[in-house]
Structure 1
Amino acid sequence: MDQFSALKAFCRVVEAGSFSAAAAEINVSHTVMSKQVRQLESQLGAQLLNRTTRRLALTEAGQTYYERARRILDELQDADLAVSRHHAIPRGTLRINAPMAFGTLDMGRWLPAFMARYPELKVDLVCNDRFVDLIEEGFDVAVRLARELPDSSLVARRLTTTATMLVASPAYLERRGAPACPEDLVRHNCLTYTLVPKPHEWTLTSPQGERTTVTVRGSFQANTGIALRSAALAGAGIATSASFIVHADLVRGDLVPVLPDYRLAPRDIYAVYPHNRHLSPKVRAFVDFASEVYRSAEWS
């Protein structure tokens, strides 16, 4: 058995979703593709795919093997590109990890233009708000929002900054009154974001540079800014939000700033990727394109 060919066949089947679709992509028979994967499973002594009449699903062993095999194939492709005359042409699959709100609300609007510029490139965008190990989980690049990045072996390129602001609906402020100073927040229903170290402590800086930390309370908290935005739009209370999440709502007047003369600490937005002497063309293309986009983002 040619293990390398079998490894490529296995990855192709996983990404295409079926043996038939994978076989059609390279113009071979379903039988040939299925035989290669069966031989690979036999050599490994483990089942990689659960097969039914309607669908394929990776086993736990298959998921682990796929993630590592995909990295091997991508690294081989990058090595080939590094020494070929086509080094500048991004191609293959680009796996991107991004925070849920940022990937959903912002990146989705410009990734189609990125793919149109690089038609030989496919994008696999995975959005979540947990910490992701790029190397272990097979991502090429991640977008991260942070006030300070931890020390790591990753390369980080700053793209832009997003302000953090307090917002509420006009209906809520009409009903409860607008706070005049940070201390007034203790009398309001405050909607808190739980994926920060101290979600119920809000620190605001006055125009004179004085900092005030207020311990807030409220009836709703969430681990995604999208849910906090929706709750604020529904008139539930005052929320902290990144500017990219609520920019359009502020323009329309569906939300309004609360304590607009005070500032909360902003967060920088970075593209991070593993250090590599020969940076992958697809990663370089993504980082350069994202830098172009965020030089002129309306909300930044």
Structure 2
Amino acid sequence: MNDRPALGDLTALAAIVTHRSFRKAADELGVSPSTLSHMMRTLELKMGVRLLNRTTRSVSPTEAGERLVSRLQPVLKELDLALEEVDAVRSRPSGSLRINASEPAARLLMQSVVPAFLARYPDMSVDLATEGRLVDIVAGGFDAGVRLGEALPQDMIAVRFGGPVRFLAVASPAYLAGRKPPLVPDDLKEHACIRVRLPSGKLYRWEFEKHGQELTVDAPGPLTLDHPGLMTEAAADGMGIAYVPDRTAQPFIDTGKLVTVLDDWCPAIPGLFLYYPGHRHVPSGLKAFVDMLREMP
């Protein structure tokens, strides 16, 4: 075949067949679905054979498309490895690293890892997006995500960092003055609690554990917030009991604006993990970032 298809077109075809979706493949490749569709029509005309079956709701490979992609995938993988070896010889990663994280996780990264990473690798840039809701990092075009261990998607490689995390029940001394402090989680039903609305829109049921006994409480209260910093400030202002991460509460505890309650019902949990797909080629910039995470105390 003298008029050989372009490598980019073949890579796009493999992405479409892998995802069974123009939209998801377009997100991965950083192009629009309409551009991708045009590329495929051009490829089919060039090769003289239909490669994809399209409907308004789905896309699937024809027999010719399936055969072509099955032969292409190992070739593309070898190409990625070859390019990675060349990139490694350059010694300094370059390009952009896109990470999706919750706001507290992003703040932790910004305190140490991100500045050190950019100083060590001046040819890299970091695009750090903060969202409260969980997102599909592959569909969103991210290289990696950061979440608590209990919220990690399946089939991901995860790297723990930042140490354990505790959620603390806290209140101001002024709020507790003249009130009986809660001794067990069910006692919260007699208090004004600062309720938590999750990004999904649901109200969070506070979770506690002691000696293997787990309890959840639908904490009552007149105030509902969706940001740990606001919850902590509201508790410090005497508006009730909040249930927030220890890193958020600690500065207020240190100054005496907040005290903890139900300490023995608030154990540490594994904490934060950076995660990324294990089935895809890992860019050198992401590898360098992971190595730096592991260096951090």
Give the TM-score normalised by the residue count of structure 2. 0.65
Deviation at 1:270, TM superposition (A): 1.0
Matches within 5 A, 1:5-84: 68-69=30-31, 80-84=83-87
Residue 127 of structure 1: which of 127, 130, 151 is its match? 130
Q: Which runs of 5+ in 2 are unaligned?
A: 1-5, 7-22, 33-76
8 A contact 1:106–1:244 mirrored in 2: no
The answer to whether residue 227 in structure 2 is matched with residue 224 in structure 1 is yes
Residue 177 of structure 2: which of 167, 170, 174 is its match? 174
Distance 1:242 1:267, change over 3 A: farther
The answer to whether residue 69 in structure 2 is matched with residue 107 in structure 1 is no
Distance 1:78 1:229, change over 3 A: farther
Residue deviations 1:255-285, cap 9 Å, x none? 2211112225735311111225652221112
| In structure 2, distance between residues paired with 1:212 and 1:84 | 51
Distance 1:117 1:166, change over 3 A: same
8 A contact 1:229–1:245 mirrored in 2: yes
Distance 1:66 1:270, change over 3 A: closer
Distance 1:173 1:196, change over 3 A: farther
Amino acid across the alignment from 1:155:
I
8 A contact 1:81–1:87 mirrored in 2: no
Residue 291 of structure 1: which of 284, 291, 294 is its match? 294
Deviation at 1:84, TM superposition (A): 3.9
Deviation at 1:245, TM superposition (A): 2.0
Distance 1:106 1:253, change over 3 A: farther
Amino acid across the alignment from 1:164:
F
| In structure 2, distance between residues paired with 1:65 and 1:262 | 43
Residue 202 of structure 1: which of 199, 206, 218 is its match? 206
Deviation at 1:88, TM superposition (A): 4.0
| In structure 1, distance between residues paired with 2:287 and 2:27 | 27
The structure number with the bigger radius of gyration is 2
8 A contact 1:194–1:223 mirrored in 2: yes
Partner SS state of residue 138, structure 2: helix
Deviation at 1:172, TM superposition (A): 1.8
The answer to whether residue 242 in structure 2 is matched with residue 239 in structure 1 is yes
Deviating runs (4+, > 6 A) in structure 1? Answer: 64-67, 75-79
Deviation at 1:217, TM superposition (A): 0.2
Deviation at 1:165, TM superposition (A): 1.5
Distance 1:166 1:279, change over 3 A: same
Deviation at 1:136, TM superposition (A): 1.7
RMSD across aligned positions (CA): 3.3
Q: Which runs of 5+ in 1 are unaligned?
A: 5-60, 296-300
| In structure 1, distance between residues paired with 2:251 and 2:84 | 41
Partner SS state of residue 235, structure 1: coil
Deviation at 1:68, TM superposition (A): 0.9
Amino acid across the alignment from 1:68:
G
8 A contact 1:144–1:270 mirrored in 2: yes
Give the TM-score normalised by the residue count of structure 1. 0.64
Partner SS state of residue 136, structure 1: coil
Distance 1:267 1:194, change over 3 A: farther
8 A contact 2:27–2:139 mirrored in 1: no
Stretch of structure 1 that moved more, 275-284 or 233-242: 275-284
Distance 1:77 1:255, change over 3 A: farther
Amino acid across the alignment from 2:108:
D
